[in-house]
Amino acid sequence: MEPYSVEHLAALALTIALIVVLPLLIRRARDVRRVERWLSAVGWALLAVTVLWTAWGMLPHNYDVDESLPFHFSDALRVITAVALIRRSGWAIAVSYFWGLTLNLQSMLTPDLTYAFGVPWLDSAMYWILHITVMVAPVVLVWGLGYRPTWFGYGTAFALAVGWAGLALVANRAIGANYGYLNAAPEGPTLLDVLGPWPIYIAWEAVLVASVWALMTWPWTTRRAIASAPIDDRLGIVRRKPLASDRPRQTVPHHEHDG
């Protein structure tokens, strides 16, 4: 795909529109439980599509050792985001927030779409559907439903990122692939190009990720932010700011008057 072609710009415009509109609609919703049921349905749909797309890539006529196995960060992110939408688990929300808004962003700004599975329109559609979903989902959870990452959530997301990178490195060494772009930069132009050659860009990427994620955590961990958002899970990975629709409605008693 040509960077910033009509197709690329249209996908980015759709993403921006969803990011702006959906949190506003959710915050104005009168029934937050209904919103959560809809998000759970989206999570189940994302999980089903992810499984089917992975199975499609594993078919003999589609199999590509560099693309079919689920060792890219985006492969893990889709499953984790589905869990976040279905269960609202603290660790999954934190990972979807940090990974989805940064690691996934590179794939959207500089798409590495190679049409590996032989059906260009399907490859393109699935690429953007999946990447847009995991970009919009954490925005909905954080700015829509009021979930807030903590420093423990920051550490959890970073530790899981390092662990997944280690798994991808082992897989790359075993099969000669380049999942996570940990063995070489993508062929097309990407944000990694400004970080130097391999393996220097991996070290710089780790430093940048740690720094940017810290900046993404700090606004939610000020004294004022903590006071308005109590811990939501047992491990202290996320907080949640109560929404107006969470509060039970007060009913006005009806008085009967004797005539």
Query: What is the chain's pLDDT, residue by residue, as a tens digit (259 residues)?
Result: 677 888 899 999 999 999 999 999 999 888 889 999 999 999 999 999 999 999 999 999 888 888 889 999 999 999 999 999 999 999 999 999 999 999 998 889 888 766 555 678 888 899 999 999 999 999 999 999 999 999 999 999 999 999 999 999 999 999 999 898 888 877 766 777 777 888 888 999 899 999 999 999 999 999 999 988 899 888 899 999 887 767 654 444 544 444 4
Side-chain half-sphere CA neighbours of 242 within 13 A: 8
CB within 8 Å of 27: residues ≥ 6 apart: 143, 144, 243
Q: Report the pLDDT value the prediction gives residue 258, as an integer from 0 to 100.
A: 44
On the 0-12 / 13-18 / 19+ scale of CB atoms within 10 A, 114 is middle
Closest C-alpha to 46, from 90, 103, 100: 100
Per residue in 78-108, pLDDT (tens digit) is 999 999 999 999 999 999 999 999 999 888 9
Counting the structural domains of the chain, the total is 1
Domain membership of residue 256 (yes or no) is no
Q: For residue 254, is it within any domain?
A: no
Domain membership flag for residue 119: yes
**How high is the pLDDT of residue 12?**
95
- CA distances to 1, 43, 57, 63, 213 from 115, rounded to whole Å, are 9, 25, 11, 12, 31
Category of 7 on φ-ψ map: left (φ > 0), alpha (ψ -120 to 50) or beta? alpha
- Please check whether residue 1 lies inside any domain of the structure: no
Instruction: Output the pLDDT for position 121.
Output: 84
255 within some domain? no
Question: HSE on the CB side for 43, CA within 13 Å?
Answer: 25
pLDDT of residue 257: 46
Is residue 56 assigned to a domain?
A: yes
Residue 181 carries which DSSP code? G
Give the chain's end-to-end CA distance (angstroms, integer): 78
Full residue range of the structural domain in which residue 132 is found: 6-243
pLDDT at residue number 189: 66
Q: Is 30 a domain residue? A: yes
Residue 151 pLDDT: 97
Q: Specify the pLDDT at position 251.
A: 46
Residue 259 lies in a domain: no
pTM above 0.85, yes or no: yes
